């Protein structure tokens, strides 16, 4: 008796759903038609790993403002920075009004343009002992689109050590990138590399203008390069039959007396310098850097 009522009520229900005049059946059908493709699309994309975001790597000496920039790009606001012990990555979106280079030819009405282009920004520790982490990240590119090398333009004036430290680090970064041409397969995956030297803290009156930051870094890298090769000679490494190996550790054009960033173009590395400031009210802000990022995505 009990069973029969249950069975008949189920039958009633099914009939109500299936009958063409029922709104419930219609709603159910519409829901299924709408959700199945979305669910399929999601699972397929997850499985194929197509969702790996383009990434931008942040490098630069300690105190140059990497963590501050990361926070700004992520949230659009300034927040207290935390000391970066290990690389951390955050997901960012291009701000309103910027178009990623890869979306340049899309129609204005293309829905892709309505969602902002996303990318991954990877912070690294600038502290000397932890730098190998940062350099490892360059040689392990997962959809790497560019490198932002942040420098503190206010400590660039000669004499206070900031310039030498920065030039040392930048020299090593560029040398790792240059060596990818002669290196293993993993490195070759990185074909062209774009490096943005972001001259930060332009809000401070002691900051050098971007053009001067570029010049100072070029002449300081010239010195770093010379002293590195002299070090090799002194230790006897570059002597005798291993002269060719020594040449691999020379940054830029072989035999050039002065280092210029343009010498990196031969190795498919473009270097640009642009000024800006993460904090501080007056200053150019980070517009130029956003533009640079949008051109790589």
Ligand X SMILES: Nc1nc2c(ncn2[C@@H]2O[C@H](COP(=O)(O)OP(=O)(O)O)[C@@H](O)[C@H]2O)c(=O)[nH]1
Location of structure tokens 């502290």:
127
Closest distance to ligand X from the beta carbon of 284 (Å)? 10
Closest distance to ligand X from the beta carbon of 183 (Å)? 27
**Given the complex with Mg ion, which of 58 and 221 has the nearer CB atom?**
58
**Given the complex with Mg ion, which of 66 and 296 has the nearer CB atom?**
66
Closest distance to Mg ion from the beta carbon of 167 (Å)? 20
First to last CA, the chain: 68
Q: Is 66 in the site for ligand X (CB under 6 A)?
A: yes
Q: Is 167 in the site for ligand X (CB under 6 A)?
A: no
Q: Is 68 in the site for ligand X (CB under 6 A)?
A: yes
**Given the complex with ligand X, which of 84 and 178 has the nearer CB atom?**
84
Residues 105 to 124 in contact with ligand X, rule: CB under 6 A: none
Location of structure tokens 């630069």:
60
Closest distance to Mg ion from the beta carbon of 84 (Å)? 4
Q: Is 67 in the site for Mg ion (CB under 5 A)?
A: yes
Q: Is 278 in the site for ligand X (CB under 6 A)?
A: yes
Query: In angstroms, how far apart are the furthest CA atoms of the chain?
Result: 102
Q: Which residues contact 290 (CB under 8 A, 6 or more apart)?
A: 94, 95, 98
d(CA 286, CA 15): 63
Q: x/- binding map, residues 73-112, to Mg ion, per CB under 5 A? A: -----------x----------------------------
- Count the residues of the shown chain that bind ligand X, applying the rule CB under 6 A: 19
Q: Is 65 in the site for ligand X (CB under 6 A)?
A: yes
What does the H/E/C string look like for 36-61? HHHHHHHHHHHHHCCCCCCEEEEECC
- Let me know: does 85 contact 94? Beta carbons within 8 Å: no
- Count the residues of the shown chain that bind Mg ion, applying the rule CB under 5 A: 3
* Beta bridge partner(s), residue 275: 199
Kind plus residue range of the DSSP H or E element containing 123: strand 118-123
**Which one, of 64, 209, 215, 66, lies nearest residue 151 by Cα?**
64
Q: Is 288 in the site for ligand X (CB under 6 A)?
A: no
Q: Is 279 in the site for ligand X (CB under 6 A)?
A: yes
**Which one, of 94, 77, 201, lies nearest residue 145 by Cα?**
94
Binding site for Mg ion (CB under 5 A): 66-67, 84
Binding site for ligand X (CB under 6 A): 60, 62-68, 81, 84, 126, 200-201, 203-204, 277-280
């Amino acid at each position: 008796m009990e069973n029969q009522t249950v069975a008949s009520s189920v039958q009633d229900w099914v009939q109500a759903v299936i009958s063409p005049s029922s709104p419930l059946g219609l709603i159910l059908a519409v829901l299924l038609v709408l959700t199945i493709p979305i669910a399929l699309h999601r699972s397929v994309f997850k499985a194929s790993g197509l969702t790996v975001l383009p990434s931008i790597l942040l490098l630069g000496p300690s105190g140059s403002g990497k963590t501050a920039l990361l926070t700004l790009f992520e949230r659009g606001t300034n927040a207290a920075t935390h000391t970066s012990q290990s690389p951390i990555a955050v997901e960012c979106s291009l701000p309103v009004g910027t178009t990623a280079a890869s979306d340049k030819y899309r129609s204005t009405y293309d829905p892709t343009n309505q969602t902002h282009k996303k990318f991954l920004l990877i912070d690294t520790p600038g502290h000397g002992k932890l730098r190998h982490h940062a350099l490892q990240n360059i040689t392990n590119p997962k959809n790497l689109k560019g490198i932002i090398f942040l420098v503190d333009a206010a400590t660039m004036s000669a004499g206070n050590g900031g310039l030498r430290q920065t030039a040392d680090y930048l020299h090593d970064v560029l040398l790792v990138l240059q060596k990818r041409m002669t290196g293993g397969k993993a490195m070759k995956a990185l074909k062209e590399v774009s490096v943005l030297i972001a001259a930060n803290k332009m809000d401070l009156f002691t900051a050098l203008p971007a053009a001067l930051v570029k010049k100072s870094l070029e002449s300081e890298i010239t010195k770093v390069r010379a002293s590195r090769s002299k070090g090799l000679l002194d230790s006897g490494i570059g002597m005798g039959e291993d002269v060719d190996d020594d040449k691999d550790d020379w940054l830029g054009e072989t035999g050039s007396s002065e280092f210029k960033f343009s010498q990196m173009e031969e190795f498919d590395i473009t270097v640009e310098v642009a000024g800006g400031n993460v904090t501080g009210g007056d200053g150019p802000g980070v517009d130029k850097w956003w533009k640079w990022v949008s051109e790589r995505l």
